Structures are given as structure tokens and as C-alpha cells.
Amino acid sequence: MIRVVHYLNQFFGGIGGEDKAGAPLQVHRGAVGSGRALAALLEGEAEIVRTLVCGDNAFHADPEGNLDAALAAVAEAGADLVLAGPAFNAGRYGLACGAVGAGAGERLGIPAVTGLYTEAPAVDVYRSRVVMAAAADSAAGMRPALEGMVRIGLRLARGGGLLPAEEDGRIPMGYRAGWAVRTPAAVRALDMLAAKLSGEPYTSEIGLPARAEPAPPAPAVADLSGAVVAAVTEGGLVPEGNPDRIESSGATRWARYPVSMFEEGGGPAFRSVHAGYDTRWVDADPNRLVPIDALRSLEKEGVIGELHDHVYVTTGTGTAVTEAERMGGEMARRLLADGVQAVIATST
């Protein structure tokens, strides 16, 4: 029976939500949390002998120490395979899964698989170091993500190799591997060319990564003391009740709110709907994310000419590049139309 160690964060490990993101690394026997669904898929072929659960904030507060402790638990359990996540499009969780998976392979020689959305932050960091089953951008795709991790993981644990990424349902690892085929390369190339010229579908054997177009920085403002400056944030700061229904992740909407609403007694309380960080400190004082108080002081001191009368808001976590480009263009056109010459853009 193949022995599996499973890594989870505090949410999927059943400890709690963002309020438990500081939970220290815990080692459990058997399957816990979402690992029970994984155990059902492994039944008869593999067994989850340990589950490692660590809060997202706690892991990254001491990544080296937590990784050492996690790998020590993996070694102690006599694991044949490490499965991490799936983490979907999560930032901190995905990076922790990548670190644990890469560490298992590089330091212990144990195959590891995680599950990530193709645009998750951990993909660029760990794609060449750990096998990643392609996953949806949210836990709504839990079952197919687990199935992909199990299919690939069991093959690796049995000593098998990887198939081409597209065939395996994996995120490409950034290198090409050769394998024998019956049709010579020249014939395949001509077949693709003929299909392209005739408008028929074809698949290139050389996958080129899609890269975002570079965004050149705007020229510096020569004199801020005469400039209209606006505050823009992707931190999800919205009035109580989120009247414009800005999504907590994967945003497709943005809104603007009068600065007067942010100032004391000017309107409803503001809360962050952002799903990618602990929002308690921002909820307690929105100036920590959108520094209206500091900008007003700079305005009074003459450092900036004028604070624009609206704050622009959306949510950044999980937002597709195409949506970000669209929303950014819409915001920029509105800001320019209002005579804004500079923007203070705050993040999480």
C-alpha cells in the first residue's frame, strides 16, 4: 500500500478561516478535512498516513522552520508520495503547497504533486520544481483537482514517469522531454502547416507561454504641489453591504466612492471583501489601506495640490489579467476625464 502524506492549510484542514491563519503546524494521523475526499479516491491503492495542517500566515512567518518540520514529519511517516492541496488560485496556501512539494522531491527524493490554477502566484515560483495538476480557480472544482493529483501521484509513486503536460492534465514545467513517435518530425510539421493554411485546427508541439504585455511606467509628475491626486486600491474596500457587488476574488467589477464617505461621519462604514488577506486591521481602520488621512495632511501641507473627490476600488486576488486590463483602462479614462494627474495605488 502506497503511504501518502497530505498537506493542507487551516481552512481545508478544518481548523477555521482567516481568523485561524496563524495556527501552527499540526501533524494528524490519517485523513482530515478535505483529505477525506482524497482518501476515498485513494482507497484500495494508497493510504493517507499523516495530514499536515498549517495556517497560511503561520507558514510564511517562518517558512524555513515550517518546511523543515513538515519534511521531518514526511520522513518519519515513511511516505511514498506527498500530495499538497489542491490550493486552486490561493496565494499564501499555493506557495506553501509549492514549498512542501518541492522540498519533498529535492530533499527527500519523494514524488509530490499539488493542484493549482494556471494563474496562481505559486505557478511561476515552483513550476519547474514540483508537479502541478491543473485545477480550477476555486474549490468548486475540488473533485476533478483531487482526481488529477491522484492519477499523476499514484503513477509517480509506482515509479512511472510524466506524460506530456496536456495529456497528463498538468501545468507545463518549462522544459521539453523527448519521446518516440511513429511519424517523422518533417511530416508532422508539414501536416501542421497544411492545416494552418487551410484553416483547419491543429496543435503546435512547441507551446509558447502567454505573457502579459509590459506596462511602461507613466512619466513622473513634475510638480505634485499643483496636481490632482486620486486614491485607487485593489484591496476590496467597499461600503457596508457591498452595494456594487464587487467580487471577493476574480473580480469583474469596480466602483468609485466619494472621499467624503471615507471620512469620519461621512457615510456608512467601510469593510474589505478581499478574500486574500486578513482584513481585520483594515476593517478597524480603512486608512490602513486607503490613506485618506495622510493624503489630506499632504494636501494641507501643499505637498499635493488637491485630493480627488472619489476613491476607486476593485479586488485584485484571483483577477484575470484580461479583466484587470479592462477595468484598469476604464478607471484610467474616467480619472483622466476628471483631470486627475497622479494616482496613489494601494495594495494588500
Give tens-digit pLDDT for 159-181.
Answer: 998 888 888 899 988 776 666 77
Q: How far apart are CA 296 and CA 260, in angstroms?
A: 11
- Residue numbers of the domain that contains 16: 2-168
Averaged pLDDT, 275-301: 91
- Number of folded domains that form the chain: 2
Q: What is the CATH number of the domain that holds 11?
A: 3.40.50.2300
Please tell me which residue, 207 or 319, carries the higher pLDDT value: 319
Is residue 188 included in any domain, yes or no? no
Q: How far apart are CA 206 and CA 266, in angstroms?
A: 57
Cβ atoms within 10 A of the Cβ of 204, count?
Answer: 9
Q: State pLDDT tens for residues 238-273.
A: 999 999 999 988 899 999 999 999 887 666 789 999
pLDDT score, position 348: 78
Kindly state whether residues 143 and 255 are assigned to the same domain.
no
Residue 48 has pLDDT above 70, yes or no: yes
pLDDT score, position 129: 93
pLDDT score, position 173: 87
Percent over 90 (pLDDT), the chain? 71
Please tell me which residue, 346 or 210, carries the higher pLDDT value: 346
Average pLDDT, the chain: 91
Residue 215 has pLDDT above 90, yes or no: no
Instruction: Report how far Cα 191 is from the mean position of its chain's Cα atoms.
Output: 38
Q: State pLDDT tens for residues 81-104.
A: 999 999 999 989 999 999 999 999
Q: How far apart are CA 253 and CA 289, in angstroms?
A: 19
Cell numbers for 94: 499555493
Is residue 202 included in any domain, yes or no? no
Q: How far apart are CA 171 and CA 115, in angstroms?
A: 9
Ramachandran assignment for 241, one of left (phi > 0), alpha (psi -120 to 50 degrees), beta (any other): left
Q: State pLDDT tens for residues 312-331.
A: 999 998 888 888 989 999 99
Kindly state whether residues 135 and 270 are assigned to the same domain.
no
Kindly state whether residues 293 and 160 are assigned to the same domain.
no
Band (pLDDT 50/70/90 cuts) for residue 212 is low
Cell numbers for 152: 499523476
Cell numbers for 26: 499540526
Kindly state whether residues 160 and 235 are assigned to the same domain.
no
Kindly state whether residues 161 and 249 are assigned to the same domain.
no
Kindly state whether residues 230 and 161 are assigned to the same domain.
no
Band (pLDDT 50/70/90 cuts) for residue 208 is low
Final residue of a domain: which of 168, 190, 216? 168
Q: How many CA atoms lie within 13 A of 150 on its CB side?
A: 19
Q: How far apart are CA 348 and CA 342, in angstroms?
A: 20
Final residue of a domain: which of 136, 152, 168? 168
pLDDT score, position 266: 64
pLDDT score, position 250: 83
Is residue 186 included in any domain, yes or no? no
Kindly state whether residues 232 and 297 are assigned to the same domain.
yes
Is residue 297 included in any domain, yes or no? yes
Q: SS3 for 111?
A: coil
Kindly state whether residues 237 and 90 are assigned to the same domain.
no
Is residue 211 included in any domain, yes or no? no
- Would you say the C-alpha torsion 215, 90, 287, 243 has a positive or negative sign? positive
Is residue 251 included in any domain, yes or no? yes
Q: SS3 for 326?
A: helix
Instruction: Report how far Cα 319 is from the mean position of its chain's Cα atoms.
Output: 9
Kindly state whether residues 89 and 160 are assigned to the same domain.
yes
pLDDT score, position 262: 86
Is residue 210 included in any domain, yes or no? no
pLDDT score, position 111: 96
Is residue 179 included in any domain, yes or no? no
Kindly state whether residues 119 and 256 are assigned to the same domain.
no
Averaged pLDDT, 300-309: 95
Residue 335 has pLDDT above 80, yes or no: yes
Kindly state whether residues 140 and 229 are assigned to the same domain.
no
Kindly state whether residues 161 and 242 are assigned to the same domain.
no
Q: How far apart are CA 157 and CA 141, in angstroms?
A: 24
Final residue of a domain: which of 149, 168, 187? 168
